[in-house]
Amino acid sequence: MKKTISLICICLICNDILSQSFDGGLIAGLTTSQISGDNLGGFNKLGVAIGFFTQRNISEKSKLKFELSYFQKGSKNNNLNLNLNSFKLDYIDAPFYFSYLVQQNTFIQFGFHTGFLLLQKETDNFGSNVELRDNFNAVDFSTSLGIEYYVNNQISLNTKFSNTLFFTPIRKHASSASLWYNQGQYNTVISFIINYYLINSQ
């Protein structure tokens, strides 16, 4: 009897989980970034983003989405006349998004990201590694705003702008100067992502 009751409970739990209509799939794309506060301007650092996502509808017009991806950030000095170094920062990025339908197949998206630093590298104008002045923080907290367009039931295109929260810089300024709205250096990223749905409840 106990085994029968346990089996019934497991079946009910599994049925409840499956009835939640979770979607999921893979993501891949390009990033272009800069580090605000490193005296370099422009989104010159190119990188990649690759990972997976899961998503659930919470109403006819809104969704919640979670991603886990390998995400490249940093900055690059394209002007050899400037004696400024470039930075390569690789993260495991774990964002949560809220998406809202604004017109057919098009959603606006707001996200909160937690990035875990995997690699930090500084290079000079000749591409040689140099010793970091200070290590970057192990965690990067940021927010993003984006647009997602559904091409069909399996593919969507997503463009996002993200920036480190102003009160949680990724590293202090070299001068240690700090203002309430500018407490150090920040990741600023524009990403172009393709979402491929392996599971789609629509």
Phi and psi at residue 15, to the nearest 5° = -65, -40
pLDDT tens digits, residue range 117-157?
999 999 988 888 998 888 999 999 999 999 999 999 999 99
Of 112, 103, 113, 48, which is closest to residue 74 (Cα–Cα)? 48
Q: Is the dihedral of CA 67, 68, 69, 75 positive or negative?
A: positive
Q: How confident is the model at residue 53 (pLDDT cuts 50, 70, 90)?
A: very high
Could you tell me the two tokens for 10? Answer: 């497991």
Domains with residue ranges and CATH for the chain: 23-199 (2.40.160.20)
- CA 69 to centroid of chain Cα atoms: 7
Contact 43, 34 (CB under 8 A): yes
pTM: 0.85
Could you tell me how many residues make up the chain?
A: 202
Residue 202: pLDDT over 70: no
